[in-house]
């Protein structure tokens, strides 16, 4: 899996979870700073080092967001849908 985050000059931040083991197809968006981070070990045999940025989605959330415990379940469900999720209030 990969998590894509976008940070806009107006202060808005968004995240999108890309499921699967291949690097995601990205839409061209020059209006923001974009980061792609891998989550979990990939089960694909490759010639390169198969490390990941985060062991799990939970570790990415803990390291990057200031989110209340009560809000995590709804946040993860929305993120799992594959849609863009606004994370401005959690950054």
Q: What would the two tokens of residue 20 be? A: 């699967």
Which residues contact residue 53 at a Cβ distance below 8 angstroms, ignoring those fewer than 6 apart? 37, 38, 39, 60
Q: State the pTM of this model.
A: 0.81
Residue 52 scores a pLDDT above 50: yes
Count structural domains, the chain.
1
Q: 17 is in which domain, residue-wise?
A: 2-90
| 11 — pLDDT class (breaks 50, 70, 90) | very high
Q: What is the mean pLDDT of residues 55-63?
A: 91
Find tokens 């990941």 and name the residue: 52
pLDDT digits (tens, 9 = 90+) for 22-31: 888 888 888 9
- DSSP category for residue 89: G
For residues 44-67, one letter each, b for 16 or more C-beta atoms within 10 angstroms of the residue's C-beta and e for the rest, the string is eeeeeeeebebeebeebbeebbeb
């Amino acid at each position: 899996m990969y998590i894509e985050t976008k940070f806009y000059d107006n202060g808005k931040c968004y995240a999108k979870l890309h499921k699967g083991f291949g690097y995601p197809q990205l839409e061209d968006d020059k209006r923001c700073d974009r980061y792609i981070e891998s989550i979990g070990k990939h089960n694909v045999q490759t010639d390169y080092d198969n490390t990941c940025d985060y062991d799990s989605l939970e570790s990415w959330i803990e390291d990057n967001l200031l989110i209340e415990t009560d809000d995590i379940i709804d946040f993860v469900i929305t993120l799992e849908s594959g849609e863009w999720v606004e994370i401005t209030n959690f950054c």
